[in-house]
Structure 1
């Protein structure tokens, strides 16, 4: 085989003979967007949309400066630096084919831990009109039980005492806003692209909570000059593997050290509330609306919760990928019934949405055997996901005397999962900021399952619902006695009667 072609700007014309590449002049693109968190999802989603817009011409002020915020983000920073910001998106179609495209919308890249002041200056630059975020659900630093900002976080304490060398997004934004105010620079938009209901509202509350303590004189300025639009984002983007890198090399001869793998489905619904202009993303398929809430409720409660259902149940059975889990007929039936009986009643009226078709499309997407989304990825940080994806459905059903036995079984399965072994006795790879606390509670719950629900930062006051506790304990004991597969079969059969 010929020596692979390294992906970079110099080689782009040669690479363009093999796959789709940017046709716009990247040297003339200015970074009007600063994006924090340049991982796989951002590069498959917002950066992808922006690349498509740049292809249309006339939008050269909306390139992206990618910020690697945390020390462990050094790898993606080095890859983008070596590849001049270029990377490949590999879209794994349902029919097994592969659509490959080089993306060029990231035109700058900064590693924050090396020089925080450069990042603060970039965020304060008058040309920066949007600061967007994919910092994961846990990055918003709030207590699920109270909804309040967690000031006890050691990194927050660091930022309060070392404002010129922050470690968190809140410290960076506070200093950037301070410079904008001092210099008379216009405000900007903070755009969350994370899976949190009301992500714009949550971002604003957390940012202002921090600023009230760190820079109280900024509060009025932020309220008057900074917009925080809500948005709903959707594209399944599994972790890139070495096999993906080799597949790209074999098929195209391109050496990309960190391509992105994703499904063909793509959706972005955005509240049209920007303080100093925005890209015309609607020209490439995004939707701008006055109220994102119905869309995000639907997506978080069906797609994201559905992913967690499959991940937790599948992990205990011993499955490795999400397509394996959903192609287990019993678990598929469980998921469909969960969506129909528990989630759908909680969604209310969804104008212009064919809910039946949307749910059917989710089953198809989950079952895409070419994506190979790892169960371990889906289960990661479940302590941050379950309160946002699953518990709103539980709370609605409890308030409306509805069905919640499927949700109770999933939470019981998660409690057992956190003991660290699947039903075959194999060690589970658990990645969660609360891993130690979860395991401790899970082990304490062996003889008293209710103890797991005492994790108030996850479950809030759910332990006070005798109805839910009863259903949860019943499910827990059945799983321990009979295993997930029989429990899933039994609950499916019971609701058919």
Structure 2
């Protein structure tokens, strides 16, 4: 039997504690993937028993896979929380349906302009923001942005979609929604607000002013490790709950959501569900970006170079585990939080990374490095150097990324350029010089001899003696 609203009562799992038939949509989420389903959708699911007006309408920005998996299941899916050898299953019912933007944007715009929609949240990853990596601002030369500006009624990008929806709401006299970014970007709310404002300024100056004065863009910090779902996961979940689930989601016990409490159109009681509502998210997001995400990227690239398929595999490599401890310590030294809190956080991270139940693939984390490396490692290196603090472990992660680029085709917005550089420069140091010259990635670090000379030295050592030669002994 397939998991559906008619069979859910047969599931050997915790089931929604509310009448799902009475739930109505109040949130539209752009970018329905595993992370959203293991994180924000779970928090919302915990709120629906007390307020059923906050159901989620999901939007897949590119592919129909998620819609095709969840539609026959009436939006229901299994959350499998794995801790060592134990697995706890729970059925999540907060996602009511999933729209596919590439199959027609009007249904998406109808959902966004519905007065019941009071929050639009996003997990579209860094590239969905259509930013210029060098400046962090909207890239007006982005092909998708240029196309959307030419045909504003049929937007395909996130900025174009949000601005067109807000334009229609303003014209209809409907109050604007709150736009809640849940992506791993510094000051993600401010960043998204700036991007949307810059797009609106290109499209309609008066609309840009209205958005600046009326639309809230709270920042948030999200944290939960969510691997890609495998066929083995599907089989395990089916055996566990007694029903077939086309796309369950597997995750860890730990979850964290820190949110800037700025919701003029209202919000569910997320604090009661365990979220932290604060006035300033920045200290928390910097801690996560630099300690967790920076360490994750370092593990991913060394893991790929050394043949470690998962994060847990990589952490079982003692030398790599020592490097990750160093990366976290170096990152912590750049943060303005109590040292004892940072030490506890680092210990918790390393415990999470070692969880063998999570098959979090290093290849998955290694995607889109050109977008991730500046936020996760380069800013930390610049701050550590300016403060006269150690940064060699952090630099090793960047060197591993450069070596990874030379190995072959990568999944990255700059993949074409990286492939051309790898083909043109067989010598590892010459290749490193070419990559380091990419200012859209490295910014002013491209001209900093203290940085580039150290990178060349690390790359040369790795080329001569292998990646292990730069790991702590």
Q: Which category of TM-score, normalised to the shorter sequence, fits these structures?
A: over 0.9
The correspondence for 1:21, drawn from 11, 15, 19, is 15
1:342-361 superposed matches below 5 A: 342-350=330-338, 354-361=341-348
| Number of residue pairs matched by the alignment | 470
User: Residue 76 of structure 1 corresponds to which residue in structure 2?
Assistant: 66
Please give the alpha-carbon distance, in whole angstroms, between the structure 1 residues aligned to 2:338 and 2:192. Answer: 25
The correspondence for 1:46, drawn from 31, 34, 40, is 40
User: Residue 379 of structure 2 corresponds to which residue in structure 1?
Assistant: 392
User: Residue 60 of structure 1 corresponds to which residue in structure 2?
Assistant: 52
User: Residue 36 of structure 1 corresponds to which residue in structure 2?
Assistant: 30
The correspondence for 1:286, drawn from 265, 268, 275, is 275
Provide runs of 4+ in structure 1 moved above 4 Å: none
User: Residue 438 of structure 1 corresponds to which residue in structure 2?
Assistant: 418
1:43-77 deviation per Cα after TM superposition (whole angstroms, max 9, x unaligned)? 000001111111xx23111111111122x2x0101
Say whether the 8 Å CA contact 1:450–1:463 is kept in structure 2. Answer: no
1:165-224 deviation per Cα after TM superposition (whole angstroms, max 9, x unaligned)? 211111211111111111111121000000001000100010111111123221121112
Q: Is residue 467 of structure 2 the alignment partner of residue 487 of structure 1?
A: no
Say whether the 8 Å CA contact 2:121–2:179 is kept in structure 1. Answer: yes
Q: Is residue 165 of structure 2 the alignment partner of residue 176 of structure 1?
A: yes
The correspondence for 2:79, drawn from 89, 98, 105, is 89
Please report how far the alpha carbon of residue 350 of structure 1 lies from its aligned counterpart in structure 2 after TM superposition. 4.2
Say whether the 8 Å CA contact 1:166–1:172 is kept in structure 2. Answer: yes
Please give the alpha-carbon distance, in whole angstroms, between the structure 2 residues aligned to 1:45 and 1:193. Answer: 10
Say whether the 8 Å CA contact 2:428–2:459 is kept in structure 1. Answer: no
| Ranges in structure 2 where 5+ consecutive residues have no aligned partner | none
Please report how far the alpha carbon of residue 274 of structure 1 lies from its aligned counterpart in structure 2 after TM superposition. 1.1
1:133-175 deviation per Cα after TM superposition (whole angstroms, max 9, x unaligned)? 0001111111121222111111111111122221111121111
Counterpart of 1:419 in 2: which secondary structure?
helix
User: Residue 181 of structure 2 corresponds to which residue in structure 1?
Assistant: 192
Q: Is residue 444 of structure 2 the alignment partner of residue 452 of structure 1?
A: no
User: Residue 2 of structure 2 corresponds to which residue in structure 1?
Assistant: 6
User: Residue 367 of structure 1 corresponds to which residue in structure 2?
Assistant: 354
User: Residue 426 of structure 1 corresponds to which residue in structure 2?
Assistant: none
Please give the alpha-carbon distance, in whole angstroms, between the structure 2 residues aligned to 1:147 and 1:337. Answer: 28
User: Residue 331 of structure 1 corresponds to which residue in structure 2?
Assistant: 320
Please give the alpha-carbon distance, in whole angstroms, between the structure 2 residues aligned to 1:447 and 1:224. Answer: 50
Please give the alpha-carbon distance, in whole angstroms, between the structure 1 residues aligned to 2:161 and 2:241. Answer: 40
Q: What value does the CA root-mean-square deviation take over the aligned residues? A: 1.4
User: Residue 425 of structure 1 corresponds to which residue in structure 2?
Assistant: none
Please give the alpha-carbon distance, in whole angstroms, between the structure 1 residues aligned to 2:370 and 2:348. Answer: 27
Please give the alpha-carbon distance, in whole angstroms, between the structure 2 residues aligned to 1:163 and 1:21. Answer: 42
Counterpart of 2:98 in 1: which secondary structure?
strand
| Ranges in structure 1 where 5+ consecutive residues have no aligned partner | 422-428
The correspondence for 1:205, drawn from 194, 202, 209, is 194
Please report how far the alpha carbon of residue 447 of structure 1 lies from its aligned counterpart in structure 2 after TM superposition. 4.5
Counterpart of 2:407 in 1: which secondary structure?
coil
Say whether the 8 Å CA contact 1:31–1:108 is kept in structure 2. Answer: no
1:85-164 superposed matches below 5 A: 85-93=75-83, 95-164=84-153
